[in-house]
Chains A and B, each alone.
Chain A
Amino acid sequence: MAQATSPPEVVRDATARRYSSDAAGLGRLRAGAFVAPAMVLIAVFLVFPALWVIYLGLTNYRLTGVEAAEPRVVGLDNFVKALSDPTFWNSTWLTVQFVLGSAVIGQVVLGFTIAWLLRDRRGPLKRIVEGLVILAWILPSAVVSFLWVALLDRDGGTLNTLLGIPGFAWLLDHPMLSIIVFNTWRGTAFSMMLYGAALGNVPPSHLESARLAGASGWQQLRDVVFPHIRGHILTNLLLISLWTFNDFTPFMLTAGGPDGKSEVLAVYVYNVALKGGQLGYGAAVSTVILLINLVVAVFYLRLLRSKK
């Protein structure tokens, strides 16, 4: 059974029972010692600055000017300002489209499809397809952004040449579609690898008996495969949603433009904090993003647990 790959919450009871006596005889003390070095680094370089960001969100701190020398605590002003700013809501809505379109639909569906198509294959075809998908994932974003500008460019872009429509301005007329397709291309590898591993855990005998019982492809997926990989789906959705939510790469394609039409929240924060120097406000928006991410995570956990 592959159930153990499920994230902790899902199998809490079963896990507790199974690990009541741990296999390697680690004991809580030594387990603590194993965890400690990581936790110290995380505490210093992650938790501490993250709490600092949350605190900055309560101030009017700026990169320059009087507020840089003497920042004041302004309470929830920044949050009120964000929540009453149509630009913020526009960015939030664009981010929802971006995450749903490129991560939840694009990467998950494409990643699963590739993993499914190649599940029983060996040899060069599988290696080439997987290699190319992974290449898109590991290339540095500065390089990748140039590749996509060259692909989608209005005048000499490869896509317009291939389609025979010179002058079509993808990044201007369809900025969200462009960055959604881009991010699907960019991130599919992770889902593909995760589902590839997950499908390896589905016992072939189960699939075989379902096939003999006359189940269609879709029925096999739903009744045999899905229950086995639910844990992987949860892990996958959690991570890629989180990463996509905070992904800044679209900035390098569209700079949030034209006129904010692709200004997802991560780009909004960049524009506010780095270009505008409004660090307090930017920190507050970051905190709001954190809260949205929290809600999304809880939603996934409930969804995939309740279907058990």
Chain B
Amino acid sequence: MGLRKRSMVAVLAVSSLGLAACGQSSGSGDTIELTIAQNAIAGGKNAAAADFIAKWVIPQFEAAEKAKGKDVKVKFVPSGVDDEQYKTKLSLDLKSGKGADVIDIDGIWAGEFAEAGYIKPLSDVVGADADKWDGWQQIPESVQGLATYNGKKYALPIGTDGRVLYFNKSLLQKAGLPADWQPKSWQEILDAGTKLKSSGVPVPIQINAGTAMGEATSMQGMLPLLAGAGGEVQKDGKWTGASQPLKDALGLYQKIYGGSGLGDPKLQQEAKGRDKSFQQFAEGKIGILMEGDYFWRGVVNPKDGIAKMADRDQNVGYAMIPAIEPGKGLRGQDFVSMSGGALRTVNPNSKHPKEAFELLTFTLSPDALKEETKNGNVRITPRTDVNKEILAGEPLLTFISEKVLPLTAYRPPVAVYPQVSAALQEATAAVVGGKTPDQAAAEYQTKLEGLVGGAGNIAS
């Protein structure tokens, strides 16, 4: 098919008025030209990351290469769109042999990109250097797992995160709950919600549900709850169908959104529902909210959050997400969480894979990570040697790094996961919309069978 298509296109090309060829410029002489692409853009989405690349990484890296006698020019290719659109563009580029030399992808795309041949094992692309990188020793096994597919490393992880329960301390205290609240079971969350409600809090509990919030429903809702009920979306190659943990998790949704008044079902359906939940938490209208550390860093951050809380450090509390009952969580744990993280890798189409890998590891060197996380821009980096130092003044991130990450779980990095995740979101939407957990679970099982190739791949 490829050949015929190509010749057809060629014929059309000739007949179409001699179109001007405006190809991309490539390196001239000894200069090596590299490009690095992220879904970040100055003055817009992820502006800090874009500025860091443009103002620190590129000049520093070029200087370091010059010192080694190499003339390298790096260009940043910014983007600032929805993740799905970024993914579409990246896929089309990679499929056509284009794209930047160093690219960022979400950890959860690793499987589908690898299967499509869009990314290749680092040892194939850059050779033995990939495994020799000294940074690997500093990255915990579980975080390395983000970048591993079928036992091979496809990328470097560039960070990780964790989910907790945030709460408004003054609202909880007014409802007679302690400021260092730490629920030990789901029932304790519901009890706290009931108390908050009777003390007049409009939205006692917000746990993301529904399809409008997309992956935020899975990561900050369904999956931590599933883990809390002792389940996993996929285990040993088999998918979890309408099992008891799934029904338990959906049951908690029903208890919150099914007429108890503990949550606001409308908020879960709105196109901008997650934004609104942030606003409402900042305005003191939400008591308890399940979110990732992004919420602390980027939402209620008193300096540059999108829903600033001047009294964040005093008034926002956080607690680990409990299992349904102590010891009943995933792997018999008392507490659970979910983690994700982005990856950075070398484009297999790169003309200069060695230099591209150097640039890649340069962005993850201790110096670069320390520089990147300066000025209140702290996040959990993949490197334990760096985390200790940069997280020192950040109580929440230290809490997540030390207490949450050891017991967290990751999503299965397989190609079909995004569709399974969408089906999970639909199941939560069904419960919020009034269906029983059993009905929603059964519908999920049916959809799952269609997605993963029959009931044979589903654990009964």
> Which residue numbers of A lie inside 8 Å of B, CB to CB?
37, 40-41, 43-44, 48, 63-66, 68-69, 149, 154-155, 169, 171-172, 253-255, 257-260, 274-277
Establish whether residues A68 and B84, one from each chain, have CB atoms under 8 Å apart when the complex forms. no
Cα(A255)–Cα(B276), bound, Å: 16
- Once A259-B211, A274-B88, A277-B418 are accepted as A-B contacts, the answer to whether A69 and B270 lie under 8 Å apart by CB is no
Contact A69 B115 (CB under 8 A): yes
- Inter-chain contact A44/B91, CB cutoff 8 Å: no
Residue of A64, A259, A275, A276 most packed against chain B (CB within 10 A) = A64
- Given the interface contacts A40-B15, A257-B212, A274-B85, does A172 sit within 8 Å of B266 by beta carbon? yes
In the complex where A259-B269, A274-B84 touch, is A69 in contact with B117 (Cβ < 8 A)? yes
Nearest chain-B residue to A45 (Cβ)?
B16
Question: How big is chain B's contact interface, by range?
Answer: 35 or more
A residues near B272, Cβ cutoff 8 Å? 149
Closest-CB distance, A47 to chain B (whole angstroms): 10
B contact residues around A40 at 8 Å (CB): 15-17
Residues 68-118 of B contacting A (Cβ, < 8 Å): 84-85, 87-88, 91, 95, 109, 111-113, 115-118
- Nearest-CB residue, chain B, relative to A167: B266
The 4 closest A-B pairs by CB, nearest first: A258-B269, A64-B112, A65-B415, A68-B116
Minimal beta-carbon separation of B164 from chain A (angstroms): 27
Minimum CB–CB distance for B317 against chain A, Å: 26
A274 to B272, CA, bound (A): 20
Q: Is B271 an interface residue (CB 8 A)?
A: yes
CB of B287 within 8 A of chain A? no
In the assembled complex, 6 residue pairs joining A and B whose CB atoms fall closer than 8 Å, in A order, are A48-B8, A48-B12, A63-B88, A64-B91, A169-B270, A277-B91
Instruction: Find A41's partner among B16, B88, B270, B433 (CB 8 Å cutoff).
Output: B16
A100 to B117, CA, bound (A): 45
A171 to B266, CA, bound (A): 11
Residues of chain B having any CB pair with chain A under 8 Å: 8, 12, 15-17, 84-85, 87-88, 91, 95, 109, 111-113, 115-118, 210-212, 266, 269-272, 276, 415-416, 418-419, 422, 429, 433
Q: Is the CB of B16 within 8 A of A44?
A: yes
Q: Which of A48, A169, A258, A277 has the most CB of B within 10 A?
A: A258
Given that A65-B116, A277-B418 are known contacts, is A172 also in contact with B270, CB under 8 Å in the complex?
A: yes
Q: Give the docked Cα–Cα distance between A154 and B276 (Å).
A: 11
Q: Decide: B112 and A258 in contact? CB cutoff 8 A.
A: no
Q: How many Å from the CB of A91 to the closest CB on chain B? A: 14
A64 to B289, CA, bound (A): 34
Contact, CB under 8 Å: A66 / B115: yes
**Contact yes or no, A44 B12, CB < 8 A:** yes
Cβ–Cβ contact B269 & A64, under 8 A? no
Give A156 Cβ to nearest chain B Cβ, in Å: 11
A83 CB to closest chain B CB (Å) equals: 15
Name the B residues within 8 Å of A68 (CB-CB).
Answer: 91, 95, 112, 115-118
Question: Which B residues lie within 8 Å of A274 (CB)?
Answer: 84-85, 88
Contact B270 A64 (CB under 8 A): no
Q: Report the separation of the CA atoms of residues A254 and B212 in the bound assembly, to the nearest whole angstrom.
A: 9
- Residues of chain B with a CB closer than 8 A to A275's CB: 84
Contacts A257-B211, A258-B210 given; does A65 touch B115 at CB 8 Å = yes
Q: Is the CB of A255 within 8 A of B271?
A: yes
Residues from chain A with Cβ under 8 Å of B95 in the complex: 68
Q: CA of A66 to CA of B150 in the docked complex: distance in angstroms?
A: 14
Q: Nearest chain A CB to B454's CB is how many angstroms away? A: 15
In the complex the two chains form, what is the Cα distance from A255 to B91 in whole Å?
Answer: 23
Q: Are A63 and B269 in contact (CB under 8 A)?
A: no
B45 to chain A, nearest CB (A): 15
Are B212 and A64 in contact, CB atoms less than 8 angstroms apart? no
Q: Which residue of A lies closest to B111 (CB)?
A: A65
B433 contacts A64, C-beta separation under 8 Å: no
- Checking B8, B15, B276, B415 against A64 with a beta-carbon cut-off of 8 angstroms, the contacting residue is B415
Residues of A within 8 A of B91 (CB): 63-64, 68, 277
Using known A-B contacts A41-B16, A258-B269, determine if residue A66 contacts B415 with beta carbons closer than 8 Å. yes
Q: Which residue of A lies closest to B117 (CB)?
A: A69
CA distance A279 to B250 in the complex (A): 31
Inter-chain contact A258/B212, CB cutoff 8 Å: yes
Contacts of A259 in B (CB 8 A): 210-211, 269, 429, 433
Task: State the CA gap A253–B270 with chains docked (Å).
Answer: 10
Q: Which residues of B contact A254 (CB under 8 A)?
A: 271
The answer to whether A255 touches B85, judged by C-beta atoms less than 8 angstroms apart, is: no
For the complex, what is the distance from the CA of A69 to the CA of B95, rounded to whole Å? 8
Q: A residues within 8 A CB of B415? A: 64-66
Determine the residue in chain B with the shortest Cβ distance to A278. B419
Q: How far is the CA of A258 from the CA of B91 in the complex (A)?
A: 29
Cβ of B211: which chain A residues have Cβ within 8 Å of it? Answer: 257, 259-260
User: For residue B116, which residues in chain A have a CB less than 8 angstroms away from its CB?
Assistant: 64-66, 68-69
In whole angstroms, what is the CA distance A80 to B271 when docked? 31
- B residues near A253, Cβ cutoff 8 Å: 271
Tell me the bound Cα distance from A173 to B212 in angstroms: 15
Question: Distance in Å from the Cβ of A165 to the closest Cβ of chain B?
Answer: 15
A259 to B276, CA, bound (A): 18
Chain B positions within 8 Å of A64 at CB level = 87, 91, 109, 112-113, 115-116, 118, 415
The complex places the Cα of A274 from the Cα of B271 at a distance, in Å, of 18
Contact call B12/A43, Cβ cutoff below 8 A? yes
Bound-state CA distance A89–B360 (Å) is: 48
Question: Which chain B positions have C-beta within 8 A of A155?
Answer: 276
CA A48 to CA B211, docked complex, whole Å: 36
From B422, which residue of chain A is reached at the shortest CB distance? A276
Give chain A nearest CB distance to B284 CB in angstroms. 15
- In the complex, the chain A residue whose C-beta lies closest to that of B118 is A64
* CB of B16, distance to nearest CB on chain A (Å): 5
A277 and B433 alpha carbons, distance in the complex (Å): 27
Q: Which B residues are in CB contact (< 8 Å) with A257?
A: 211-212, 269-271
Tell me the complex Cα distance, A257–B429, Å.
Answer: 11
Given A44-B12, A154-B270, A259-B269, are A65 and B112 neighbors across the interface (CB < 8 Å)? yes
**Which residue of A is nearest B272, CB measured?**
A149
